[in-house]
A and B are shown apart, each in its own frame.
Chain A
């Protein structure tokens, strides 16, 4: 694993402290920035392996920071810190290339696990030759075989591989719906539609998910199989 430092960007002192303490045992040097401006200044000077980025900050917000990072340091992994109920902006951030998000409040173990997972996953993506289409197919297969956790991982990889395609967002929404988180799944269906308003599977999923009773099956897109809704 690389030992580039991790930068924690949050205007709340308590979050910076919690994250820094949580990451300490992983052996990465952890640095902090209190706002977007400071974060960008630090990014100018040094190459960070990962950024833990709060979206809601006074002044330059997280999305703006993310925009600029994509221009200057496209190879820095960004994990979004989000408050409960503001997952839309996290989805927005993933469209901009953030690799994952964590919801407040979080336990130190959860943070460590996520950071480890992201590093593992990203190394896998860099080393693996699987292109976007292959990942999408793998993900659908995993869903059909009810290997939902694995499917989630693959969907995340696909989203990171090409955030400008709707399929992975739709699949991730489908996975959330299968797991019973129907409210959050809507946001991913909408994200897929934002990317491509003509993408039918996401439109159908969204329409089905907001209708009552929820009739019909969750669509994974493409011709191949469908997942059972429960």
Chain B
């Protein structure tokens, strides 16, 4: 077995959509211990053969499911369902009730980003990220066309 000499984290991901599954696959390949929760068992098909974590079928808005995932032991919690409100709720539960040291959430709506930030939850907003990148691309090319670099 290939020994990976870094600290292995216990990471719980809610939502096994494209983002959740991709994250889970990559984190697991890096040697972290993963639990992925999704209401729909068929979503687990997106997990690759390299994924060596646990799959938990259930509704993460139910305390019992989060307890089953042993959330109180988690080092990192990631909310990546398609629903911002669900993400906000489970992220708060993870933070306030299970005291997970690091809680992250994906938020679609940039307006809600502020709310999450105020609650102390780290967020990634794909809309803002994409907008920023597109902006850079547009301005970057405009800059290079003008030949000006500040």
Contacts and interface: CB of A to CB of B under 8 A. Distances in A.
Whether chains A and B associate is: yes
A107 B31 CA distance: 12
B46 interface: no
Interface string A1-14: 00000000000011
A24 interface: yes
B74 A107 contact: yes
A196 B130 CA distance: 67
Contact of A14 (B52, B68, B73): B52
Secondary structure type dominating chain B contacts: loop
A21 B74 contact: no
B77 interface: no
Contact of A105 (B3, B4, B56): B56
A59 B114 CA distance: 55
A154 interface: no
Contact of A110 (B52, B53, B70): B70
B52 A105 contact: no
A20 interface: yes
B51 A14 contact: yes
A46 interface: no
Interface string A70-84: 000000000000001
A105 B54 contact: yes
Contact of A18 (B52, B70, B74): B52
Contacts of A129: none
Interface residues of B, number: 18
Residues of A in contact with B, size category: 10 to 19
Contacts of A14: 51-54
Interface string B1-39: 101100010100000000000000000000101010000
A107 B33 CA distance: 6
A21 B6 CA distance: 11
B10 to A, nearest CB: 4
A109 interface: yes
Q: Select the residue from B31, B35, B53, B54 with max chain A CB neighbours within 10 A.
A: B54
Contact of B33 (A13, A84, A108): A108
B69 interface: yes
Given A18-B33, A21-B8, A13 B52 contact: yes
Interface string B36-78: 0000000000000001111010000000000011100110000
Given A107-B73, A109-B73, 6 more contacts: A18-B53, A24-B3, A105-B53, A105-B56, A105-B68, A107-B10
Interface of B: 1, 3-4, 8, 10, 31, 33, 35, 51-54, 56, 68-70, 73-74
Interface of A: 13-14, 17-18, 20-22, 24, 84, 104-110
User: Which 8 residue pairs are nearest across A and B when measured between Cβ atoms?
Assistant: A105-B54, A107-B10, A14-B52, A17-B52, A105-B35, A107-B73, A84-B68, A108-B33
